[in-house]
Chain A
Amino acid sequence: MEKLFALTPYIPLFPLLAFALIVLWANKNNKLSAGLAIAGLGLSTIISWLIAIATIVGGEHVQVEGWSLTIPWLPTGTGVFNMGFAVDGFTAAMLFMVPFVSSLIFIYASEYMEGDSRYARFFAYVSLFVSGMLTLVVADNLLLLFIAWEIMGLCSYLLIGFWFEKDSAKKAGLKAFLTTRVGDVLFFGGMLLLYSQTGTLTFREIFTPAVLERLAEATIWGQPASVVISLLIFGGAVGKSAQFPLHVWLPDAMEGPTPVSAMIHAATMVSAGVYLVARMLPLFAVVPVGSLQWVAIIGAITAFFGATIGIAQNDIKRVLAYSTISQLGYMMIGLGLGGFLAGIFHLLTHSFFKALLFLGSGSVIHAMEHGAHHAHDHETDPQDMMNMGGLANRMKKTYIAYMAGTLALVGIVPFAGFFSKDEILAEAWHQAGGFNFGSIAFWAWLAGLLGAFVTALYMGRQIGLVFLGKPRTKLAEHAVEPGKRMTYPLLVLGFFALTLGFINIPKNVPIIGNGWLHEFAGLIYESTEVLNLEALPLNWGLAGVATIIGLAGFFGGIALYRGHQAGQSDPMVKLLGRPLFTLLKNKYYVDEFYFAVIINPVVKLANFAGKFDYDWVINPIVNFVGNTGKWLSIVSGEFDRVVVDGLGVLGTARFFRWMGKELRYTQTGQVQNYLLVIALVSLSLVGAYLFGLGF
Chain B
Amino acid sequence: MSAIPLSWWIFVATALFMIGFYVALTRKNAIAILIGLELMLNATNINLVAFDRYITPARVEGQVFAVFVIAIAAAEAAVALAIFIAAYRRRGTVDVENLDSMKF
Q: Are B100 and A668 in contact (CB under 8 A)?
A: yes
Which residue of chain B has its CB nearest to the CB of A676? B25
Q: Are B96 and A667 in contact (CB under 8 A)?
A: no
Q: Are B96 and A675 in contact (CB under 8 A)?
A: no
Q: Is the interface of B mostly helix, strand, loop or mixed?
A: loop
In the bound assembly, the distance between CA atoms of A670 and B27 in angstroms comes to 11
- A residues in contact with B101, CB < 8 Å: 669
Does B51 interact with chain A (Cβ within 8 Å)?
Answer: no
CB distance from A364 to the nearest CB of B (A): 105
Does A664 interact with chain B (Cβ within 8 Å)?
Answer: yes
Does A1 interact with chain B (Cβ within 8 Å)?
Answer: no
Q: Is the interface of A mostly helix, strand, loop or mixed?
A: helix
Binary B-proximity of A662-678 (CB < 8 A = 1, otherwise 0): 00100111111001100
Does B103 interact with chain A (Cβ within 8 Å)?
Answer: yes
Q: Are A670 and B104 in contact (CB under 8 A)?
A: no
Does B26 interact with chain A (Cβ within 8 Å)?
Answer: yes
- A residues in contact with B9, CB < 8 Å: none
CB distance from B39 to the nearest CB of A (A): 14
Q: Are A675 and B104 in contact (CB under 8 A)?
A: no
CB distance from A675 to the nearest CB of B (A): 6
In the bound assembly, the distance between CA atoms of A672 and B100 in angstroms comes to 11
CB distance from A176 to the nearest CB of B (A): 89
Q: Are B104 and A679 in contact (CB under 8 A)?
A: no
Does B21 interact with chain A (Cβ within 8 Å)?
Answer: yes
Q: Are A672 and B103 in contact (CB under 8 A)?
A: no
Q: Are A668 and B103 in contact (CB under 8 A)?
A: yes
Q: Are B25 and A672 in contact (CB under 8 A)?
A: yes
CB distance from A122 to the nearest CB of B (A): 88
- A residues in contact with B13, CB < 8 Å: none
Binary A-proximity of B7-34 (CB < 8 A = 1, otherwise 0): 0000000000000010011100000010
Binary A-proximity of B71-104 (CB < 8 A = 1, otherwise 0): 0000000000000000000000000110011111
In the bound assembly, the distance between CA atoms of A675 and B25 in angstroms comes to 7
Q: Are B100 and A670 in contact (CB under 8 A)?
A: yes
Q: Are B21 and A667 in contact (CB under 8 A)?
A: no
In the bound assembly, the distance between CA atoms of A676 and B104 in angstroms comes to 19
Q: Are B25 and A669 in contact (CB under 8 A)?
A: no
Which residue of chain B has its CB nearest to the CB of A664? B104
Q: Are A675 and B24 in contact (CB under 8 A)?
A: yes
Which residue of chain B has its CB nearest to the CB of A667? B104
CB distance from B36 to the nearest CB of A (A): 10
Q: Which of B19-60 contact A (CB under 8 A)?
A: 21, 24-26, 33
Q: Are A669 and B102 in contact (CB under 8 A)?
A: yes
- B residues in contact with A669, CB < 8 Å: 100-104
Q: Are B96 and A670 in contact (CB under 8 A)?
A: yes
In the bound assembly, the distance between CA atoms of A672 and B30 in angstroms comes to 11
- A residues in contact with B100, CB < 8 Å: 668-670
Q: Are B104 and A672 in contact (CB under 8 A)?
A: no
Q: Are B25 and A667 in contact (CB under 8 A)?
A: no
Q: A676-B25, A679-B21, A679-B25 are in contact. Are A671 and B96 (CB under 8 A)?
A: yes
- B residues in contact with A672, CB < 8 Å: 24-26, 33, 96
In the bound assembly, the distance between CA atoms of A89 and B103 in angstroms comes to 112
In the bound assembly, the distance between CA atoms of A675 and B18 in angstroms comes to 13
In the bound assembly, the distance between CA atoms of A668 and B103 in angstroms comes to 6
In the bound assembly, the distance between CA atoms of A672 and B24 in angstroms comes to 7
In the bound assembly, the distance between CA atoms of A669 and B96 in angstroms comes to 9
In the bound assembly, the distance between CA atoms of A675 and B103 in angstroms comes to 16
In the bound assembly, the distance between CA atoms of A672 and B99 in angstroms comes to 12
In the bound assembly, the distance between CA atoms of A667 and B96 in angstroms comes to 14
- B residues in contact with A664, CB < 8 Å: 104
Which residue of chain A has its CB nearest to the CB of B103? A669
In the bound assembly, the distance between CA atoms of A333 and B57 in angstroms comes to 148
Which residue of chain B has its CB nearest to the CB of A682? B21
In the bound assembly, the distance between CA atoms of A667 and B24 in angstroms comes to 18
- A residues in contact with B102, CB < 8 Å: 669
Which residue of chain A has its CB nearest to the CB of B24? A675
- A residues in contact with B21, CB < 8 Å: 679
Binary B-proximity of A629-672 (CB < 8 A = 1, otherwise 0): 00000000000000000000000000000000000100111111
In the bound assembly, the distance between CA atoms of A71 and B87 in angstroms comes to 106
In the bound assembly, the distance between CA atoms of A259 and B49 in angstroms comes to 134
- A residues in contact with B97, CB < 8 Å: 670
- A residues in contact with B33, CB < 8 Å: 672
- B residues in contact with A676, CB < 8 Å: 25
In the bound assembly, the distance between CA atoms of A194 and B33 in angstroms comes to 115
In the bound assembly, the distance between CA atoms of A668 and B104 in angstroms comes to 8
- A residues in contact with B96, CB < 8 Å: 670-672
- B residues in contact with A670, CB < 8 Å: 96-97, 100
In the bound assembly, the distance between CA atoms of A668 and B102 in angstroms comes to 10
CB distance from A680 to the nearest CB of B (A): 11
In the bound assembly, the distance between CA atoms of A664 and B24 in angstroms comes to 23
In the bound assembly, the distance between CA atoms of A679 and B20 in angstroms comes to 13
Q: Are A667 and B103 in contact (CB under 8 A)?
A: yes
CB distance from B10 to the nearest CB of A (A): 15
Binary B-proximity of A78-90 (CB < 8 A = 1, otherwise 0): 0000000000000
In the bound assembly, the distance between CA atoms of A618 and B101 in angstroms comes to 73
- A residues in contact with B25, CB < 8 Å: 672, 675-676, 679
In the bound assembly, the distance between CA atoms of A669 and B104 in angstroms comes to 8
CB distance from B54 to the nearest CB of A (A): 23
Q: Which residues of B contact A (CB under 8 A)?
A: 21, 24-26, 33, 96-97, 100-104
Sample of 20 A–B contacts (CB below 8 Å): A664-B104, A667-B103, A667-B104, A668-B100, A668-B103, A669-B100, A669-B101, A669-B102, A669-B103, A670-B96, A670-B97, A670-B100, A671-B96, A672-B24, A672-B25, A672-B26, A672-B33, A672-B96, A675-B24, A676-B25
Seed contacts A664-B104, A669-B102, A676-B25; 19 additional CB < 8 Å A-B pairs: A667-B103, A667-B104, A668-B100, A669-B100, A669-B101, A669-B103, A669-B104, A670-B96, A670-B100, A671-B96, A672-B24, A672-B25, A672-B26, A672-B33, A672-B96, A675-B24, A675-B25, A679-B21, A679-B25
Closest 3 CB pairs of A and B: A669-B103, A669-B100, A672-B25
